[in-house]
Amino acid sequence: MKLICVQNDPGALKIVVAAHYTKQDVSITAPSRTKKNLSSTLVLDSGVELFSSNSACSYILEASSGSNNAIEVQEFLEWEATKLNPLVSSLIVGVSNGKKAESSEVGNCLKQISDALKGKPYLVDNKLSAADIVIWSTLYPLVSEQKLSKIVPSDLSEWHNKLSSLDSFRAAVEKLNPKSGVENWASSIPPVTIQFSNLSIAPSAVKSQGSLKLPVANPVLPVKGKKNILITSALPYVNNVPHLGNIIGCVLSADVFARYCRARGHPTLYISGTDEYGTATETKAIAEGLTPKQICDKYHEIHSQVYKWFNIGFDHFGRTSHEHQTEICQDLFLKLHKRGLTLTESMEQLLCENCDRFLADRFVEGECPLCGYEDARGDQCDKCGKLVNATELKNPRCKLCQKKPVTKESKHFFIDLPKIEPKLREWMATSSPGWTNNASVIAHSWIKDGLKPRCITRDLKWGIPVPLDGYREKVFYVWFDAPLGYVSMTKTYTNDWEKWWKNPEEVEYYQFMAKDNVPFHAVMFPSTQLGSGDNFTIVNHIMATEYLNYEDGKFSKSRGVGVFGSDVQDTGIPADVWRFYLLYVRPESQDSSFSWNDLMTKNNSELLNNLGNFINRALMFVEKNFDSSIPKVEFTAEDNELVKNINEELVGYNEALEKAKLRDGLRFILAVSRHGNQYMQSNQPWVLVKGNEAEKKRAGSILGLSANIACLIAALLRPYMPCTTETISKQLQAPGKTAFDIPDTFSILLPENHKIGKPAPLFSKIDAAQADQLKARFAGSQEDQAARSSGGKPTPPSLSGDVAALQAAVAAQGEKVRKLKSETKDKTVWQPEVNILLDLKKKLTEAEKAAAAAPPPPQASGEDIDSLTAAVAAQGEKVRKLKAETKDKNVWQPEVQKLLDLKKRLEAASKNAPPKAEAAQPAPPASASKASELEAAVAAQGEVVRKLKAETKDKTVWQPEVDKLLLLKKQLAEIQGVPATQTQSGGKSGKKKK
């Protein structure tokens, strides 16, 4: 084996310790100059490369003993990769930049390790495992460096030192011989911008540690002669937390339908999972400072927990990064290729020679060819909103390294859709009548003018590799591989997966999604299935929703707007109420809106006052007046009329659910409870029970019938509100499967003398104050919400159109953002400040336009000079920082030009300024806008002073900037009518000494 690594990479320690412990040879080679920023890579004798040090460590130990795959070990490895390692790396980099060795987050992690080791020599099963080696290696810089060691608890240091004394650990350190000094460890940490390359392009080359799950023991399989239902919901992407629109559009709708089908006795399989490959994953990984694998692990778990809280009843919730996905995707491609249904074409793309990769659109920035905006993305300009191609940008730059890419051609595979189109049209003609109207319209619009070849490969690192020579460095485009996840996840669930997926004669396939996913499921996925020549089960029913909006706007994962799945758990509102409301407003035929006030109204009127009131009253009267025993039901004409009405609602319910019209189905349930309420209200059994024997008997019959209607409601509610059904069932003590089966007609389910349980209210009221509080809490973006929860949302200074003051404010805010980003990778910390910076830049652009169009200003006043002085200082600081960071003139020259322009304006303003009087005259009343401008200038200059003082103790360096700050504060005090000494002393007053 060969290890390619730098000298001070803790990841290399993991691999070398494992090799020495298992007595395997490993040679060490330094990386090439172009690859020096990559993390350690283990090259096996077979030529397979392992880019994850944890996977390499596990592989070495497992290959030696075969016993290192314990669940506890894998949990430690995942925790180290996703939590401990990023935090330790951030701490090391921070200390190398002059910060203190303090981190409560690292401290918490170290405490967890100490707790896990209490009374034990090793982390798992009292024997050395990959968990010990990996965590020991990550902690090595902390324990060995004096600047860092004080953060490590003494008991943990003692454990670390004991392992260090073992032969395999000592030999590994001697072999790598890492240099001492925090800066050496910091320089060996791979930059976040290329961390996505830390993973193999072919995840199938080595078994994914901890991801391979055995098929279930008793899987649901089709039964000959029965209505076998296969259900999938569009795979949620792992680049964010799902919001309520995602949940109702896909997984929740599919869950309700699956629960209904099971309650009707149909063999039903519900499959979904996370979509994990592609550019969006790489982008998110860069944003969070993690590898794509770590991002996928993190968000797969988040999605799993969100859906678990919502009681989504998947038969299997899988992942597209599973090895079965690679196998099935590559197999399907090769079948299409052999049948002549693929072709190759060259495409012009941007290549970053520094990163050695073709750049996806999201990794390119540059000047918009339409409006000139300097930070346009490779797919769209945020300023003018126009769509652009990456190759059209002027002065393009790689988002990862800021170098200029070159244009090169790259050859890609296309699926020849025109050849498949006749079969697709024939299939669509027979299948689409079972689709929702919007799905049918969208699909037919796609094929209306004929299909064109569609590219199915990309020059990315994170994806399924193309299994042909000359193309193995490319991966399949996510739209080609993702739908096959339904198939691969079923294979993970059961070895008999083909009984579901290659059995169209006996399986009816339903697919749930939002309308934006229709083209991929109605055109692309079926085309690949038809083209393969296999007897695939192809979708019969595409159930597409419109969009769920949020209050007066739209849900947005990218902007963090709306209520997200992880948020609802903290609202105090039960999961079943959320399920109910989302299904009540499900956008089945047109867009609908989520509203906090409407949620409150529907909960209080429909659940509390209608459904909950009926069930609770019926059972309470049975308990109180009939000793919790169901009285005998003796039907009258009125009762028969009630049963007739209920049966009509039941027919409507079943018809709606069979067509997956879930919102309509819910309304039929509420209609049943309204019939029950009206029945009780008109007969008033609470009055009859106090009358003569005949009236008391009639009261018992009314309550017995009402209790049985409650039992029916429990059955009808099960697909929608499973926990509520369980609660009703317990209160009814319903026998057997009564509350699980959904009948065709109503019948007596609770016989005479059946004992019920203890009745209790099913729902709680949501008052207006609570709704208003929640609405305010979730206003704005997730970053806004996080800022408020951590002490209040920061707000940008209120500035008028003064360009100099805005330039100063932008410079100061930019410095603040850079400082925060260098301190933490936690987006919730610095994103609010980024938003302020963007807002200030927007105001500055508007002010510059207004200034250019305005007539020449009158001679400058002293205030203008002060503002320009601060702006020059802030811009000068920005230039100094850029020049210190890079020698690339293209990066800092534009900022130098801005500085020169500001200096010219300051010089002109100084010449035109009237001479100052010997004695200051009282200042005229100042406007609020001028005060705001000076406040911004003071803030900007204050930031300059703080930074200089932090960098050096040399007073000659920072004293001139302090003088400027004091001058600005004095000017601000004068226009505010406050003594300057009070402003400069922070507003405190003191008595003079006598």
- For 852-868, give the DSSP string: HHSPPPPPPPHHHHHHH
Confidence band of 81 (pLDDT split at 50, 70, 90): confident
Confidence band of 516 (pLDDT split at 50, 70, 90): confident
Tokens of 641: 């009329």
Highest mean pLDDT out of 514-528, 548-562, 766-780: 514-528
Instruction: Report whether pLDDT(185) > 60.
Output: yes
Lowest-pLDDT choice from 233-237, 609-613, 890-894, 905-909: 890-894
Contact 516, 486 (CB under 8 A): no
Instruction: Report whether pLDDT(574) > 50.
Output: yes
Instruction: Report whether pLDDT(160) > 50.
Output: yes
| CA–CA dist 735, 715 (Å, integer) | 13
Lowest-pLDDT choice from 96-100, 388-392, 831-835: 831-835
pLDDT of residue 650: 96
Strands of the sheet with 364-367, listed across from one edge: 376-377, 364-367, 394-398
Tokens of 618: 């019926």
| CA–CA dist 192, 201 (Å, integer) | 18
Instruction: Report whether pLDDT(708) > 80.
Output: yes
The CA-atom distances, in angstroms, between 695 and each of 581, 681, 684 are 40, 15, 11
Q: Which residue has the higher pLDDT, 392 or 617?
A: 617
Contact 39, 51 (CB under 8 A): yes
HSE-up (13 A, CA, CB side) for residue 831? 19
- Summarised one tens digit per residue, pLDDT across range 279-296 is 888 878 877 888 899 999
Confidence band of 796 (pLDDT split at 50, 70, 90): very low
Confidence band of 203 (pLDDT split at 50, 70, 90): very low
pLDDT of residue 778: 77
Confidence band of 336 (pLDDT split at 50, 70, 90): very high
pLDDT of residue 860: 37
- Summarised one tens digit per residue, pLDDT across range 853-888 is 655 444 433 445 666 776 777 777 777 777 766 666
pLDDT of residue 710: 96
In the block, tokens 């305010």 appear at 776
Instruction: Report whether pLDDT(639) > 80.
Output: yes
Instruction: Label the pairing between strands 548-550 and 553-554.
Output: antiparallel
Residue range 156-166: average pLDDT?
Answer: 91
Residue range 772-776: average pLDDT?
Answer: 85
pLDDT of residue 289: 82
pLDDT of residue 66: 47
First to last CA, the chain: 82
Residue range 26-51: average pLDDT?
Answer: 70
Residue 674: phi and psi, rounded to 5, are -65, -40
Question: By percentage, how much of the chain surpasses pLDDT 90?
Answer: 44
- Summarised one tens digit per residue, pLDDT across range 206-217 is 223 333 345 666
Lowest-pLDDT choice from 30-44, 111-125, 448-462: 30-44
Q: Which residue has the higher pLDDT, 120 or 889?
A: 120
- Summarised one tens digit per residue, pLDDT across range 667-703 is 999 999 999 999 999 999 999 999 999 999 999 999 9
pLDDT of residue 793: 43
pTM for this entry: 0.61
Instruction: Report whether pLDDT(576) > 70.
Output: yes
pLDDT of residue 930: 58
- Summarised one tens digit per residue, pLDDT across range 149-158 is 888 998 999 9
Residue range 229-237: average pLDDT?
Answer: 95
| CA–CA dist 5, 16 (Å, integer) | 11
| CA–CA dist 81, 143 (Å, integer) | 19
Confidence band of 578 (pLDDT split at 50, 70, 90): very high
Instruction: Report whether pLDDT(813) > 80.
Output: no
Residue range 769-775: average pLDDT?
Answer: 88
Residue range 933-957: average pLDDT?
Answer: 72
Q: Which of 58, 564, 476 is nearest to 279 (CA)?
A: 476
**548 beta partners:** 592
Q: What is the DSSP string of 539-560?
A: -SEEEEE-PEEETTEE-BTTTT
Confidence band of 241 (pLDDT split at 50, 70, 90): confident
pLDDT of residue 835: 75
**Average pLDDT of the chain?**
82
Highest mean pLDDT out of 104-113, 121-130, 168-177, 781-790: 168-177
pLDDT of residue 90: 79
pLDDT of residue 201: 27
| CA–CA dist 325, 815 (Å, integer) | 45
- Summarised one tens digit per residue, pLDDT across range 473-498 is 899 998 899 999 999 999 999 999 99
Counting beta carbons within 10 angstroms of the beta carbon of residue 570, is it exposed (0 to 12), middle (13 to 18) or buried (19 or more)? exposed
Confidence band of 530 (pLDDT split at 50, 70, 90): very high
Residue range 789-818: average pLDDT?
Answer: 56
HSE-up (13 A, CA, CB side) for residue 164? 16
pLDDT of residue 59: 78
pLDDT of residue 36: 44
| CA–CA dist 600, 768 (Å, integer) | 7
Lowest-pLDDT choice from 402-411, 412-421, 619-628, 911-920: 911-920
Residue length of the chain: 994
Contact 336, 453 (CB under 8 A): no
Residue range 452-479: average pLDDT?
Answer: 91
In the block, tokens 């309509």 appear at 664
